[in-house]
Amino acid sequence: MRVHRIRAETVVAICDGDLLGRQLPVGNRGHTVTVSPQFYGDRPVGREEIEWALQRATIANLLGERTLALAYELGLVTAEGTGRLGGVPHAEIFTVPH
């Protein structure tokens, strides 16, 4: 997990650790995206730290089976609100200010 602060946004990026460094195919033209430790972080974190960070996030980028399973459990995403990135479960969550 890694927390990025960009102006008024708090972006929380979380992925399954075994995905770090992998190249995931995007589209059908041979393009890939790297699951980068610079974006997702490279320090393992526990459930409590993830929950704390997600409660404060204005944007969350979630990638991986275990990460999405926790997001489902916390009621943050539904199956209809998720997709796949290179065959890997993926979701983005945005808050809209009132």
pLDDT of residue 42 exceeding 70: yes
Note the pLDDT of residue 98. 60
The mean per-residue pLDDT over the stretch 27-36 comes to: 91
The mean per-residue pLDDT over the stretch 56-69 comes to: 96
The mean per-residue pLDDT over the stretch 81-92 comes to: 95
Note the pLDDT of residue 27. 83
Query: What is the average pLDDT score of the chain?
Result: 94
The mean per-residue pLDDT over the stretch 60-71 comes to: 96
pLDDT of residue 95 exceeding 90: no
The mean per-residue pLDDT over the stretch 32-46 comes to: 94
Note the pLDDT of residue 93. 95
State which amino acid sits at residue 83: G
Q: Is 20 exposed, middle or buried (0-12, 13-18, 19+ CB in 10 A)?
A: middle
Q: How far apart are CA 58 and CA 94, in angstroms?
A: 6
The domains of the chain are located at 2-94
Q: How far apart are CA 64 and CA 96, in angstroms?
A: 25
Instruction: Look at the domain 2-94 and name its fold.
Output: 3.30.1860
Note the pLDDT of residue 53. 96
What is the CB neighbour count within 10 angstroms for residue 59? 15
